[in-house]
Each structure stands twice: as structure tokens, then as C-alpha cells.
Amino acid sequence: DTEVTQTPKHLVMGMTNKKSLKCEQHMGHRAMYWYKQKAKKPPELMFVYSYEKLSINESVPSRFSPECPNSSLLNLHLHALQPEDSALYLCASSQYRDSNTEAFFGQGTRLTVV
């Protein structure tokens, strides 16, 4: 099983809403990642978790709040987003934080902020 599952697939939210994106993997990977991808652009790294601890935050605004409740789950809590935050949000996992191992990506959540 090399699957990373993201839910929901699509999300539309208002600027005053609070919502969460969920990511799950059962490969025993200890590193998990959130990426943001705008249309026709490559994915940009947002956060890296290693052994359930936040190890990299790429200066992401506080309206994005990641959480790793256990080694299989990664959440991204969203609050007071702006329309420019609309994008495809991708979750990925790899065996370790060291890029010696390949990262597997989920199908993404298409987020629209209205």
C-alpha cells in the first residue's frame, strides 16, 4: 500500500469559516508534508513533520495551522483565509525526513476561498 489519502477532495469556504484538511497514510512513514500548488505552478513546501513534530515551517501565515495527532495522520486547520489562498493542497509522506527516500503524494484537496 503506497497510498496517501486526502479528504475532502474539494472544499469551498468563506473567509470567516474554519475548516480542516485531513491526510492519512499507513505506510509507516515518519515524515509528512504539506504543499500548496497554485494553477500552472510547481508545488511549494509549507510544513514538514518528522516523528510527529513540526520540523520545518516555510514562513506560512498563522491562518494555516498544521497538526500531527499521530504517525499516520496529518491535519491542516484553516481559519480566516483569503481568496488568494485558493489552491490545490497536497499532502506527502516519506519514510524519513531525509530526502534519501521518495515521497508519495496524495491526490490533493482543491480549496476555493470565497
Partner 1 sequence: SQELEQSPQSLIVQEGKNLTINCTSSKTLYGLYWYKQKYGEGLIFLMMLQKGGEEKSHEKITAKLDEKKQQSSLHITASQPSHAGIYLCGAAMKTSYDKVIFGPGTSLSVIP
Which residues are at the interface with partner 1 (CB under 8 A)? 4, 6, 31, 41-45, 48, 50, 55-56, 88, 90, 92, 97-108, 110
Q: Based on CB atoms, which residue is closest to partner 1, 18 or 41?
A: 41
Shortest distance, position 48 Cβ to partner 1, whole Å: 7
Q: Based on CB atoms, which residue is closest to partner 1, 5 or 82?
A: 5
Query: Do the beta carbons of residue 26 and residue 1 sit within 8 Å?
Result: yes
User: Which residue has cell 513533520?
Assistant: 49
Report how far residue 101's alpha carbon sits from residue 106's, in angstroms, rounded to the nearest whole number. 16
Query: Do the beta carbons of residue 71 and residue 26 sit within 8 Å?
Result: no
Shortest distance, position 16 Cβ to partner 1, whole Å: 26
DSSP annotation of 102 = -
Q: Based on CB atoms, which residue is closest to partner 1, 72 or 104?
A: 104
Query: Do the beta carbons of residue 31 and residue 79 sit within 8 Å?
Result: no
Shortest distance, position 39 Cβ to partner 1, whole Å: 9
